[in-house]
Structure 1
Amino acid sequence: MSLRRVIVELPDRPGSLGQVTTLLGRLGVDIRQMRVLDRDGAVATDEFVVSVPGPVIDRTLPELLEEIQGVRVRSVAATDSDSGISGAIVAV
């Protein structure tokens, strides 16, 4: 399994985060950490550290997430540690 840091934008409304985490679970992706980076009442930006079970899912993860209405993947980056969410500032 490979660790990835994934940043997504999603509608800031009840159920949106649940749709993202449900899809990740169905794909066998293990969520190691999650943090809300920003929310403005319309859009939320969330950061996940996830363990991806295989190369096919790793390559298609952004496209699969963006099939959820209103979700946009801002970045996916390899990481070698789940010991802490990054302190990077994400411009929205």
Structure 2
Amino acid sequence: MNKKEFLTSSGLQVQTLEIWLEQRWLIPQKTSAGIQFSDIDVARARLIQELKNDLGANDEGIDVILHLMDQLHGMRRALKQLRKDLQER
């Protein structure tokens, strides 16, 4: 989805999106047509909003939370690949 569609889906304001892109909390794909957002980006934006608004997390806390979540998802992908490799033996 393009930037306008993403803003509609996520409920973010343009200024907020620009800040989050600078902070690399959201990393959309870059294509020849411009940046493209996915449903995962929308879910991540909603998570960030919940962390800020509902749980009161500050920017530093969100940095840590997102970093840990990214590590966890990376570990899950690695474990899934390891299981697949072991099953193929």
What's the TM-score once normalised by structure 2's chain length? 0.29
Of structures 1 and 2, the one scoring higher in RCO (CA 8 A, sep 6+) is: 1
Q: Say which one has the larger Rg.
A: 2
What's the TM-score once normalised by structure 1's chain length? 0.28
Structure in which a larger fraction of residues adopt strand: 1
Structure in which a larger fraction of residues adopt helix: 2
